[in-house]
Amino acid sequence: MSKTEELNDWAYALKCEKAVAGLKRNGFDAVYCQTGEEVFHYIVNEAATAKSIGFGGSLSVADLKLVDKLKGMGKEILNHSAPDLTPEERLATARRQLTCDLFLAGSNAVTLSGALVNIDGNGNRAAAMFFGPQKVIVVVGRNKLVDGSVEDAVRRIKSFASPANAKRLELSTPCATTGFCSDCNSPQRICRVTTVIEKKPRNTDIRVLVVNEDMGL
C-alpha cells in the first residue's frame, strides 16, 4: 500500500466511524467493516436462518458475488434484476421481496448524521428497506457518505448516482447521454420516489454495514 492509499484509508476510516456513530444515535444497528470481504462473511452468517433472500438491485451487493454462495446454502433467491425474467415475473419478484426473510440493499447516500437517503424509479427497493422483510441489511461504501444535509445527499444522488444508473440500465433519459441531471420528464426517468429514513423504523430490523471501500455508484 502506498503512502497515499494509507492516508486515504485512514481519513475514510474516521468518516466511516462517524457515520456509524450517527446511525447508532438514530437507532440503527450499524457496523463498521474494513473490507468487502468482511461484509460478505457478515451477510452469509446473517443469512443462516433465512429461507428467502431478496436482492434490491444494488451494485454494492452484486459486487460481493453472494448469489452462488447463498444458493449453495439452499436459500431461495428473489432477484427482480435476473436477466431471464419477464416484466411480469420481475414485478411479482419485487412484490415477494417485501415479505422475504432477509432483504439486501445498498443506499444511494448516507449522511454522517445517520440518515439513509434513496431515490427510486418504482419505489420497491426503498419500500422493502423500511417495512416488510424480517431483516434488512444495507451495504454502504465510503463513497456514499455525505458530510452534510439530506439536501446534500439528494444532490449527490442526482448529480452522480442517477445518471450512472440510468446509463447502466440503458435507459433513454437525458442524463444517460449527458451524464448530468436535467430534472427531465422522460417516461424512463428513474428519479421518481425519494425516501429519507431518519430513524430506525420501529418494526424493522435494519443493519447498516459501513465499508471502508468504494462500493457501487
Specify the pLDDT at position 178. Answer: 97
Residue at 217 is within a domain: no
Residue at 113 is within a domain: yes
What residues contact 207, with CB distance under 8 A and at least 6 apart? Answer: 28, 29, 30, 31, 46, 135, 136, 137, 138
> What digits encode the pLDDT tens for the residues 68-79?
999 999 999 999
> What digits encode the pLDDT tens for the residues 77-127?
999 999 999 999 999 999 999 999 999 999 999 999 999 999 999 999 999
Residue at 150 is within a domain: yes
Q: How far is CA 8 from CA 11, 14, 60, 214, in A?
A: 5, 10, 20, 12
What CATH number is associated with residue 113?
Answer: 3.40.50.10420
> What digits encode the pLDDT tens for the residues 155-168?
999 999 999 999 99
Residue at 216 is within a domain: no
- Range(s) of the domain holding residue 108: 3-211
Residue 28: band (very low, low, confident or very high) from pLDDT cuts 50, 70, 90 = very high
Residue 1 pLDDT greater than 90, yes or no: no
Specify the pLDDT at position 202. Answer: 94
Residue at 165 is within a domain: yes
Percent share of the chain, pLDDT over 70: 100
Which whole number is the average pLDDT over 201-208?
Answer: 96
Residue at 149 is within a domain: yes
163 neighbors 181 (Cβ within 8 angstroms): yes
Which whole number is the average pLDDT over 27-34?
Answer: 98
Specify the pLDDT at position 206. Answer: 97
| DSSP per-residue codes, 97-121 | HTT-SEEEEE-SEEETTS-EEEEES
How many domains does the chain fold into?
A: 1
Q: How far is CA 211 from CA 41, 47, 55, 141, in A?
A: 13, 19, 19, 5
Residue 47: band (very low, low, confident or very high) from pLDDT cuts 50, 70, 90 = very high
Residue 44 pLDDT greater than 90, yes or no: yes
